[in-house]
């Protein structure tokens, strides 16, 4: 088994339960990088949609002292978006481990 395959060492991950707690405490801003139709079908409450196909790290709104956490369906696209953030010199370095799939599996609330 190759550890870290397909992941950058610079990508921080947070699990769904910890992210939910951060959202409830107003400590996280979730940016969902799935396409608009996927986002419309269900997303983390309060998340903003910035599809990877047109993702620009400079367009992430001011998180107002919250941690920006990127999310997609399973973690691959949010990792790609984190690479774009790093290339742009952004401080955004965290994504949801397992993505929206992990959020749903944890039984956490979904907004449509």
Q: Digits of tens for pLDDT over the chain (112 positions)?
A: 334 444 445 689 999 999 999 999 999 999 999 999 999 999 999 999 999 999 999 999 889 999 999 999 999 999 999 999 999 999 999 999 999 999 999 999 999 9
Query: 46 in a domain, yes or no?
Result: yes
Listed residue (58, 41, 59, 56) closest to 100, CA to CA: 41
Q: Are 50 and 31 in contact (CB under 8 A)?
A: yes
Query: 78 in a domain, yes or no?
Result: yes
DSSP characters over 72-108: -SSSHHHHHHHHHHHHTT-S--EEETTHHHHHHHTT-
Query: 58 in a domain, yes or no?
Result: yes
Range of the domain at 62: 12-105
Domains contained in the chain, number: 1
The yes-or-no answer on residue 72 being catalytic is yes
Query: 95 in a domain, yes or no?
Result: yes
**In this structure, what CATH number is given to the domain that contains residue 37?**
3.40.250.10
Put simply, whether the predicted model's pTM sits higher than 0.75 gets the answer: yes
- Specify the 3-state DSSP secondary structure of 86: helix
Query: 38 in a domain, yes or no?
Result: yes
pLDDT given for residue 7 in this prediction: 47
- Specify the 3-state DSSP secondary structure of 79: helix
Catalytic residue among 31, 68, 72, 97: 72
Query: 86 in a domain, yes or no?
Result: yes
Q: Are 103 and 18 in contact (CB under 8 A)?
A: no
């Amino acid at each position: 088994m190759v550890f870290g395959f397909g992941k950058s060492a610079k990508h921080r991950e947070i699990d769904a339960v910890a992210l939910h707690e951060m959202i409830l405490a107003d400590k996280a801003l979730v940016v969902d990088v799935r396409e608009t139709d996927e986002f419309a079908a269900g997303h983390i409450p309060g998340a903003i949609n910035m599809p990877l196909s047109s993702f620009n790290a400079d367009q992430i709104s001011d998180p107002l002292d919250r941690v920006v956490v990127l999310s997609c369906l399973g973690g691959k696209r949010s990792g790609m978006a984190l690479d774009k953030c790093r290339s742009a010199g952004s401080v955004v370095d965290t994504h949801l481990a397992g993505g929206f799939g992990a959020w749903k599996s944890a039984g956490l609330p979904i907004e449509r």
